[in-house]
Structure 1
Amino acid sequence: MANYRLNLNQQPNGDYEVHESGCTYYPTVNYNDLGSYNSCGPAVSEAKRKYPSKQINGCVHCSKPCHTS
């Protein structure tokens, strides 16, 4: 299992990205800890549940199966 965090700094395209621990872009400031999961899918779902008004996406580098834009 890996720990996932939501970066609360919005990307230029409007996304808020979910990152897996060990990712180069894993946030260390201004983030929400989403917990530990076996894959990015449940982590992205949790981020969307916590922040329904935000455009949530998986990181293209560490959560590629959940990256949609």
Structure 2
Amino acid sequence: MSLFYVDKKAQENGDHEIHTASCTHSPGIKNCDPLGYHIACSTALDAAKAIYPQSNGCYYCSHSSYHSEDK
């Protein structure tokens, strides 16, 4: 189980990325909204989408919920 956060600032494509608390690519806790503890990044992504409908997983720490723009 990991602690997840969602970036308050959207990426250039409008996505708000979810990150684990230990992700080195996170913008920092001050710049994120907490999502709580989740067993899988998919449930953290669902929680993020309740706040920011256009959310995506981080390529580095939440890869199974990451969706490339190329798809």
Query: TM-score by structure 2 length?
Result: 0.84
Quick check: 1:20 aligned with 2:20?
yes
Task: Please state how far the C-alpha of 1:28 moved relative to its aligned partner.
Answer: 2.2
Match in the other structure for 2:34: 33
Q: Distance in 1 between matches of 2:47 and 2:30?
A: 19
- Residue ranges of structure 2 left out of the alignment (5+ in a row): none
Task: Please state how far the C-alpha of 1:32 moved relative to its aligned partner.
Answer: 0.6
Aligned length: 67
Matched residue of 1:9: which SS?
coil
Match in the other structure for 1:5: 5
Identity of aligned residues (%): 37
Give the 4+ runs in structure 1 shifted more than 4 A.
none
Matched residue of 1:22: which SS?
coil
Q: Distance in 1 between matches of 2:62 and 2:50?
A: 18
Query: TM-score by structure 1 length?
Result: 0.87
Match in the other structure for 1:56: 55
RMSD: 1.1
Q: Distance in 2 between matches of 1:24 and 1:2?
A: 14
